[in-house]
Each structure stands twice: as C-alpha cells, then as structure tokens.
Amino acid sequence: MKIRILEKQDTTLGIWMPFIFGLAALLAVITLFNISLDNYIIHIITVVGIYIIAATSLNLTNGYTGLFSLGHAGFMAIGAYISVFLTYNVSLRTAYNLPLLPAILGGSDSQWPFLPSLLAGGIVAAIAALIIGFPVLKLKGHYLAVASLGFMIIVTTLAKGMKDITRGAAGIQVIPRYTSIYNVYLWAAITIFILWRLLHSAPGRAMLAIRESEISAQSQGIHLMKYKLYSFVIGAFFAGIAGGLYAHFTRSIRPYEFSFSMTFFMVIMPIIGGSRNLFGPALGASLLVIMRYILKPVEEYFGIYGLVELIYATLLVVVMMLKPEGILREKNY
Amino acid sequence: MIFGTSYILQQIFNGIVLGSIYALLALGMAIIYGILGLINFAHGALITLGAFCFYTIFSRLQWPFFLTLVLTIAFGGLMGYLLELIGYRKLRGSPGLSLLITSLGIYIFVENLVKLIVTPQPYAFSIPDFLNQMINYHITFRVIDLFIIFTTIFIMLIFSFFIKKNKIGIAMRGISESVETARLVGINVDQVIIWTFIVASSIAALTGFMWGSKYGQIGYDLGFMPGVIAFVAIVMGGIGSIPGSVVGGFLIGLIQTFVIGFLPPGWTIYRDAIVFTLLILVLLIKPSGVMGRKESVS
C-alpha cells in the first residue's frame, strides 16, 4: 500500500507560483531601489546578493547534508577565473598578458558573452567538485574539513602559479562589468528556488537523512557517495556562478582574495543565520555583509585592521554557545 | 641536473629542522585530538601568540634570552588553559562539528586580535647572536638549527616519559581510549583535559619562537599554515598514534624542503599545495597513515 500525503507543492501551480510571484516582487523592489537609492547602497545590496548565492549553496553541503566543507572559496575562484578567461576583452588581452582563446573556444578574435561564460565557470567548478569529491567525501567530519581546505589552498596556489593564464599574484584587472543587481538577484532567486525544490525531492530527503545519521540512511538503501556528490557538485556549481558574478562585479581578481578569510566569511553566514532554514544563509549573508560595510570605515578611521573579523569570530563563538541552531529556526517551507 | 653529496645532505638537514617544528606541532595537536576528537584550529593561533610573546619580551623589553624562552612557554600554557576554560569547556559533549567550528572561530578571533594590536605589517624577529652563528662543517647551518633539533628531541623524550610514567600522562592515554571508562575508574577528566591543553599549547608557543627564528620574520597570520600542516602530518602519520604524528611531521618537513631544493625554482610556490595533494592521495590510498591504528576515517 502506498500512502502519500499531498502537499500543496505537489501541484505545478504550487511549485511555480511562489517562484514567479517572489521573482516579480523581488524585481519590483530592486527596480525601486535602483531608482531611489544611491550607488553606494546599490553596491552593498549587490554584494549581499552575491554572498546570498555563495552562502545558500554552501549550506547545501554544510547545513543540509552535514558535510562540513571549507573549500567553497576554491570553487568560487574556479568560477571567477574561468568566466573571466572567457569574457575578457579581445583587444585588451595582449596588453594585459592574457592568452587569446584557443580555436576550440571560438578562436583568437573572439570573446564570450556573459551568460555562457558564467555557466561555463559554474560547470567547471562542478566538474572539479566531482573529481575532488570522490576521495574527499569518503571522509568524515574533521578530515573532510581539512581536506577541502587543502583543496582551496591547491586552487589558490595554482592561480598564483599558472602565470600564463592567471597573471599570477598580480591578478587580472579591467574585467568587463557585466554583473548588475538584476542578474545577481535573479541567480540568488534561482539558487534558493532550486534548493527549495531539491529539499522536497527524493535526493534532498536523502541528503537530510545522511545528515541525521549516515548509518541509518545507508540501511534505508541510500547510496551515501551518490547523494553526497550530488550535494557537493550542486553547491560547487552555484559557488562557481557566485565567483563569476563576483569577478565581473569587482572587475579585478587576485588569487589571495579567495582565501581562508573568505571561506570563513561564507561558512559562518549559514551558522549565524540558521543553517536548517532555507532563508537562514541569506539572512546571515545580509547581516554580515552589511555589518562589514558599516564597520569598514570605523576600521580604517582608527587604523584598527582586523576589527570586522574579530567581531565575526566573537559572534560565531557566542552563537555556537548560546543558540547553536542560528537566528532562524528549522524550516524548509 | 646532478646534485652533490653535500647539497643533498644540506637539504636533508634543512628538512629535519623544518620537520622538527612540524613534529612538535603535530604532537600537540595529536594529544588534543586523542582526547577531545577535535582538530584544534586554534593551535595555529598559539604559534603566532608564542612568536609575538617572544618578540615583545626579547626584542622590545630586552630581557635575557633564556628567561624569555621560559616566559614564552609559560605564556603558551596559560593561553591553552584560558582557551579550554573559555572556549571549549561549555561545548563539552556537543557534536564534534560544533567544536570544530568554535575552534575556527577562536583561530580567527586570535589572528585578528593580533592583527589589531600589532598592525598587519611583518616584524623582523631577532635572536641572540650566539644562536645566529654560522657553522660550516660539510654543510652550512646556524646554531639555532641545532637548537631546534635538540630541543625537539629533548621535548619528545620528556613527553614520552610523561605519557608513560606520569599520573596525568597515563590518565591522558586512558581518556583517549575511552572517556567513559576513564571516568568510571576515577580519573578527573576535566583536570586531564586542562593539562592536555596546557602541554600542547606551551609546545605550540615554543614552536612560534622556532618558526620566527628560522624565517627571521613574523606576522599576524604566521600560525595558520603550520597549524593546518600539522594536522596533515597527523593524518599522514596515522591518526591515533603519537609516534606516527611525529613521523608525519618529519616527513612533511623533508618533502617541503625537497620541493624547494630539488625541483626547478618555479615549483617553490607549490610547496603547500603539494602537501595537500599528498594528503588527499594518502587518504585515498592508505587512510590509516604510515603508522596508524586501524581506525577508519570514513
């Protein structure tokens, strides 16, 4: 006998309505912002959006599947470098010592439009996750954390070392500015939507089961490696997208930006916002990014560099001790 | 390219010096891991603190060298005590991941506190002249290199005596076997955990001095990489085995030095990346490490 509880989301309408309405509302709000607020605030809101994508996708592994990964900045770096490599202006390539595109990618007189480059960045990040996932995802807890951190360090040293493609530690400047508040929030909405649907599908439920107990998940016939890889690869794809958006927003990337600090920044967002809530990472990202922009001037005025991270770390330790589930409580909508 | 014997000996010697530092760090991390099951990221922060403590007392206050060294070790122990008291005690019994996240938080906290106090610029790290003397006997080295090697051997000997004969050392081994059983036979677990942190942290502070004197320069983030590499050393040597973690530390020291010494100069920047590639390979091929007990990592 098959018992099935009908959720309201089981109808096509129930799935797409929230997305379309949400997107329309978001579009309206952003347009309103874009008209009424000054550029600096728009800038901050855009950065918030990029980190919403990064934190939400990181939470798929760290929060929902219970795989504590510290490699997210590595995937962002991959997405950033790949997309920049494809979109970089042909006429500037020789001047800035960047190689022309090989024939297979369109030949030496071509550059790619933004969307395909962004997707390529995400896909390469996802492929990297697939390759690195096999050895790394076999590990539990602490080992996984350090091995994924090692992956991030490997990626950033490669970015420093492969001078012919990445210009090494000098980084790449004058990247075309394709990122706008609109495409950032479109991607943020897509990320949250896909995560939401995923959590209500069989693979998503399998991931939640793995988080609760690997042994009991396995005994229910859940293939651990398969679903861990699913979650790792999907997370990496969106990290790659976030990296591409980041690169085409700041217009310059350097290997050391994708550092342990950045990973730490993203890791604490879901923890503070609420790692078992669909919107927890987004809340954490908004709070922490806005806090950074408020405190940066204070830091620079008094010359006390490190204040922002100090406050983040304190916040993290306090949250871990007093309210380990984060600000928003468990809810998957 | 062919390398002469003295060049090879020189590289091996350099590798052993670097390996000594990693081995001491791995030792400290391994005893904490053995007892709490925690990768203590904050261990790296103690390296930084130790280095800056030595710098402040020796270079700024100009106190005598050996007194400074003793004070640095004591300072490390005190910090370890506070770390356990403020940071980890409240979280005893919560999931392992909470401890890991907290230790990350504590690392970032200390790193940025140091950054805030000393500013992000690097500092020249000076040591007494007698330690800076060059010796040229087949290979070239400074007295400090010998000092590092012999101090390491000395600490290892004391430690193995401590863990075998001392009451607290024996209790540590008991707790790493099973916390519950240890408690049942009347071991004061809290007290032993405090001592573990004090011992591990004072050793870490001493390695901060070693690191600074080897490279001649210290900065607010110097402890991060050695701290993480010390964990890699534990995995390579075999989790759960203290001698294994020491062997792992020496192995990594040798590997990193050989990467710099025997590979073309362009490879130098990959020395940390190579360590992590090896980590992933070890985890794939022989997850129990070189000398590990058969404990599964997956």
Q: What is the per-residue pLDDT across A300-314, written as a single tens digit (0 to 9) for each?
A: 888 788 888 888 888
DSSP-derived secondary structure for A121-176: HHHHHHHHHHHHHHHHTTS-HHHHHHHHHHHHHHHHHHHHH-HHHH-GGG-B----
The average confidence (pLDDT) of chain A is 85
Q: pLDDT by residue (tens digit) across A205-221?
A: 888 888 888 888 888 88
- Which of A317, A319, A321, A323 should be substituted to probe chain B, the one whose Cβ sees the most B Cβ atoms within 10 Å? A317
pLDDT in tens, B140-153: 888 888 889 999 99
Nearest CA in chain A to B233: A146
Tell how far CA B140 is from the center of its chain: 25
Residue A117 is which amino acid? S
Where residue A142 falls among pLDDT bands split at 50, 70, 90? confident
- Distance between CA atoms of A156 and A255, rounded to whole angstroms? 5
Output the six-digit token pair for B284. Answer: 């794939």
Distance CA B279, CA A305 (A): 34
B68 and B201 Cβ atoms separated by less than 8 Å = no
Beta bridge partner(s), residue A146: none
Cβ contact A266:A62 at 8 Å: no
Instruction: Give the N- to C-terminal CA distance of chain B in Å, as an integer.
Output: 42
CA distance B88 to A162: 41
A4: confidence class by pLDDT, cuts 50, 70, 90: low
Residue pair B251/B293 in contact (Cβ under 8 Å)? The answer is: no
Determine the distance in angstroms separating the CA of B182 from the nearest CA of chain A, rounded to an integer: 24
| 8 Å CB contact of B297 and A138 | yes
Closest among A55, A198, A232 to A126, alpha carbons compared:
A232
Q: How far is CA B76 from CA A87, B44, B87, in A?
A: 51, 12, 15
Per-residue pLDDT tens digits for A214-253: 888 888 888 888 888 999 999 999 999 999 999 999 888 8
Judge: A141–B106 Cβ closer than 8 Å, yes or no. no
Q: Evaluate whether A208 touches A187 at the Cβ level (below 8 Å).
A: no
Residues of chain B contacting A145 with CB distance shorter than 8 Å: 39, 100
> Does position B298 have pLDDT exceeding 50, yes or no?
no
Average pLDDT, rounded, for chain B: 86
* Option in B37, B109, B224 nearest A260 (CB): B224
pLDDT confidence of residue B21: 92
Pair of tokens at residue B161: 């005596």
Mutate to test the interface with B, among A132, A136, A137, A143 (most CBs of B within 10 A): A143
Which residue shows structure tokens 């140091």? B114
For chain A, how big is the Rg over CA atoms in Å?
Answer: 20
Quote the ipTM score: 0.84
pLDDT tens across B49-103, in order? 999 999 999 888 888 888 999 999 999 999 999 988 888 887 777 777 788 888 8
Chain B nearest-CA distance from A150, in A, is 5
Smallest CA–CA distance, residue A161 to chain B, in Å, is 7
Please say if the pLDDT value at position A1 is more than 50.
no
Residue A7 clears pLDDT 70, i.e. is over it:
no
Rounded to an integer, the average pLDDT of B179-195 is 87
Residues A169 and A257 sit within 8 Å (Cβ to Cβ): no
Q: What percent of chain A has pLDDT over 90?
A: 23
Mutate to test the interface with A, among B83, B99, B112, B231 (most CBs of A within 10 A): B112
Say whether A154 and B232 touch across the interface (CB within 8 A). Answer: no
| Cβ atoms of A142 and B39 closer than 8 Å | yes
The phi and psi torsions of A14 (rounded to 5 degrees) equal -65, -25
